[in-house]
């Protein structure tokens, strides 16, 4: 599996809010168990995603704060006054250049491309769904917020409305229908499958939209599900849960000390988790799926990075200071080359 056949899950909540709300687990120098703990789950068939679809799902679960269209990167950056803005960079050379501020005073999330336009949720403007052309012109409000979890799929626009109901409409906002009236998070539609976290118990479910059959995937709080290489992965309090495509052989990888998880990555058969320890240190744990106890290790991080976007050619990370302020972005290409930048300037 190469660098971009990876699983990157970032919570779509603030780091401090998520981590402080998780239960503290017993302190341990390594893995709590020599092998993953089986978890009972009803039989279910998960949708099969291609590599590009899996990467798209990963970016969505990371908050969708960037997108690459026709060799151009669109993402949140800052204007000359260090105010958040929707910006773009040319990637023709493989490195970010030709920096352009498209919309100032804007905090864009869940960026989507449709019909030569960029769609996004502007958190600065109260969560409106907006669209703009590829050059920053013709800005339009598609639906007034607060909205969340925007995604355009097969010519339909999916989102959570102000009541946190999961809805679908045309990309122009017409013909709105409510798919689910109960509060949900991380809603994701692919084919006839609808995967989501139910707000009242924070467990994951999958529903067949054609038959209406709904199946419980997890029996504990679970976050930011991603399907990669035939399995579903999600973060859970104290570790990671992995479920096979047929719902059989679910595995829970538990960590000692960890109070919550902010990001999970699966790279070359190793699981990487970034979170907070019992001593309030930001740490990155990693271990092999084959021999978790023997391979367990961690390092203390002075700050943290979250993946904003990933495809088969690039991954974009936002690098944060310990206080939560973005200090730079890192663009990594499929050959491992890295460029760190901010405000249109390369930092090395």
Buried b (16+ CB within 10 A) or exposed e, 132-145: beeebeeeeebbeb
CA–CA distances in Å: residue 196 to residues 7, 151, 188, 221? 18, 14, 6, 12
Residues 6+ apart with CB under 8 A from 286: 270, 271, 272, 273, 295, 296, 297, 298
Yes or no: say if 119 and 173 are a contact pair by the CB < 8 Å rule: no
Say yes or no to pLDDT of 41 above 60: no
In percent, the amount of the chain with pLDDT more than 70 equals: 84
Categorize the per-residue pLDDT at 274 as very low, low, confident or very high, splitting at 50, 70 and 90. confident
CA–CA gap between residue 267 and residue 8 (Å, rounded): 9
What is the residue-averaged pLDDT of the chain? Answer: 83
Kindly state whether residue 162 falls inside one of the protein's structural domains: yes
Kindly state whether residue 1 falls inside one of the protein's structural domains: no
Query: Which residue would you say has higher pLDDT here, 255 or 16?
Result: 255
Region of 133 on the Ramachandran plot (φ > 0 left; ψ -120 to 50 alpha; else beta): beta
The three-point CA angle 40-44-47 to 5° equals 130
Q: Is 144 helix (H, G, I), strand (E, B) or coil?
A: coil
The residue among 43, 15, 4, 6 whose CA lies nearest residue 223 is 15
CA–CA gap between residue 27 and residue 277 (Å, rounded): 9
Q: What is the pLDDT at residue 44? A: 65
CATH number, domain with residue 254: 2.130.10.120
Q: What is the mean pLDDT of residues 153-159?
A: 97
Categorize the per-residue pLDDT at 25 as very low, low, confident or very high, splitting at 50, 70 and 90. very low
Kindly state whether residue 2 falls inside one of the protein's structural domains: no
Q: What is the pLDDT of residues 197-252, one digit of tens each?
A: 999 999 999 999 999 999 999 988 998 898 988 889 888 887 788 888 887 777 87
Q: Is 185 helix (H, G, I), strand (E, B) or coil?
A: strand
Yes or no: say if 191 and 207 are a contact pair by the CB < 8 Å rule: no
CA–CA gap between residue 177 and residue 337 (Å, rounded): 45
**DSSP, res 27:** P
Q: Is 266 helix (H, G, I), strand (E, B) or coil?
A: strand
Kindly state whether residue 250 falls inside one of the protein's structural domains: yes
How many structural domains is the chain composed of?
1
Domain that holds residue 199: 7-346
Kindly state whether residue 169 falls inside one of the protein's structural domains: yes
Q: Is 316 helix (H, G, I), strand (E, B) or coil?
A: strand
Kindly state whether residue 300 falls inside one of the protein's structural domains: yes
Q: Is 11 helix (H, G, I), strand (E, B) or coil?
A: coil
Yes or no: say if 94 and 333 are a contact pair by the CB < 8 Å rule: yes
Q: What is the pLDDT at residue 171? A: 96
Kindly state whether residue 195 falls inside one of the protein's structural domains: yes
Residue 8 token pair: 């990157």
Model pTM?
Answer: 0.84
Buried b (16+ CB within 10 A) or exposed e, 59-72: bbbbbbbbbbeeeb
Q: Which residue has the tokens 């709904």?
A: 214
Kindly state whether residue 139 falls inside one of the protein's structural domains: yes
Phi, psi of 41 (to 5 degrees): -140, 140
């Amino acid at each position: 599996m190469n660098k971009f056949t990876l699983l990157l899950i970032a919570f779509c909540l603030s780091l401090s809010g998520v981590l402080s709300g998780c239960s503290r687990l017993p302190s341990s120098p390594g893995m709590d168990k020599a092998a993953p703990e089986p978890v009972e789950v009803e039989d279910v068939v998960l949708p099969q995603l291609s590599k590009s679809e899996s990467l798209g799902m990963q970016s969505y679960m990371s908050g969708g704060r960037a997108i690459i269209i026709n060799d151009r990167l669109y993402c949140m950056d800052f204007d000359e006054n260090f105010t958040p803005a929707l910006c773009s960079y040319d990637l023709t050379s493989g490195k970010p250049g030709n920096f352009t501020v498209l919309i100032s005073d804007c905090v864009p999330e869940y960026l989507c491309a449709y019909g030569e336009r960029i769609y996004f949720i502007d958190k600065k403007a109260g969560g409106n769904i907006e669209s703009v052309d590829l050059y920053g012109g013709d800005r339009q409000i598609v639906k007034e917020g607060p909205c969340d979890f925007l995604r355009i799929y097969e010519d339909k626009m999916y989102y959570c409305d102000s009541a946190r109901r999961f809805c679908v409409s045309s990309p122009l906002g017409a013909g709105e229908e409510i798919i689910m009236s109960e509060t949900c998070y991380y809603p994701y539609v692919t084919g006839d499958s609808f995967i989501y976290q139910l707000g009242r118990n924070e467990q994951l479910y999958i529903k067949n939209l054609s038959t209406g059959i709904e199946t419980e995937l997890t029996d504990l709080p679970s976050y930011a599900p991603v399907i990669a290489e035939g399995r579903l992965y999600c973060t859970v309090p104290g570790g990671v849960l992995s479920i096979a495509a047929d719902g059989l052989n679910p595995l829970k990888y538990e960590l000692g000390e960890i109070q919550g998880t902010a990001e999970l990555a699966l790279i070359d058969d190793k699981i990487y988790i970034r979170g907070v320890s019992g001593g309030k240190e930001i740490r990155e744990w990693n271990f092999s799926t084959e021999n978790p106890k023997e391979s367990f290790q961690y390092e203390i991080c002075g700050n943290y990075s979250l993946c904003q976007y990933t495809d088969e050619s690039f991954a974009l990370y936002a690098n944060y200071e310990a206080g939560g302020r973005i200090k730079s972005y890192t663009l990594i290409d499929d050959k491992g080359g890295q460029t760190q930048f901010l405000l249109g300037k390369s930092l090395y």
